[in-house]
Structure 1
Amino acid sequence: MDTLRLILLFVHVLGFAALIGGTLAQAGPGPFKVNAAMRDGAGTAFVAGLALVGVLEAGDADVDHAKVAVKLLVGLAVLGLVMANVRKEQISRGLWAAVLGLSVLNVAVAIFWSSAHV
């Protein structure tokens, strides 16, 4: 079970790397859009996070449900913003900044909210 947890955690981190990297790749002047890295990264991070919580719940690990709830809500907001705008040719600077800020917030919650596993 620990191997599966580590694999899911790895995929979860890769999802955030793609999401944040795809967002930062557009930094600077010019039009912003939801690119494939943002779309795939948001989906991967969200699904892997859900699976990770499921694996932790199935095992003997203590799960901090408040932390999971915060990460779920922020992740759902990011996924919703990304998917609602994936077909648009251009998004506003504010929406781009919101996706970036919420993504970084979700990573910060994961790292700085003290917990044993989640």
Structure 2
Amino acid sequence: MDTLRLILLFLHVLGFAALIGGLIAQSSEPVKRVNAAMRDGAGTAFVAGLALVGVLEAGDGDVNHAKVGVKLAIGLVILVLVMANLRKERIPQGLWIGLLALSVLNVAVAVFWSPTHA
């Protein structure tokens, strides 16, 4: 079970790397659009995150449901925005900034909202 958890965590991180990388790759472009890296990264991060919570719930460890809820909400907003704008020729600069901010926020929640160890 621990191996499956690590594989899902790895896929979750790769998904966010692809999403943020797809966003940053367009930073100097005048026209922003949803690219394949953003689409695949958002989907991978979301599905792997759901599966990861399932594996954690099935195990004997504690799950921080508040953190999971916040990450789920942010991830769902990202996924919906990416998929809703997938076929558009361009997305507004504000949406691009919003997607980047939400993606970084979701990673920050994962990193900084963790139990402290003495």
TM-score, normalised to structure 1, is 0.96
- Mapping for residues 1-118 of structure 1, pairs under 5 Å: 1-115=1-115
Question: Per-residue CA shift, 1:18-37, capped at 9, x if unaligned?
Answer: 00000000002410000000
8 Å Cα contact 1:46-1:75 kept in structure 2: yes
Unaligned residue ranges in structure 2 (runs of 5+): none
- Segments of 4+ moved more than 3 angstroms: none
8 Å Cα contact 1:64-1:115 kept in structure 2: no
Aligned-partner Cα distance in 1 for 2:83–2:98: 14
How many residues in Structure 1 have an aligned counterpart in Structure 2?
116
TM-score, normalised to structure 2, is 0.96
Sequence identity percentage: 75
Aligned-partner Cα distance in 2 for 1:34–1:71: 21
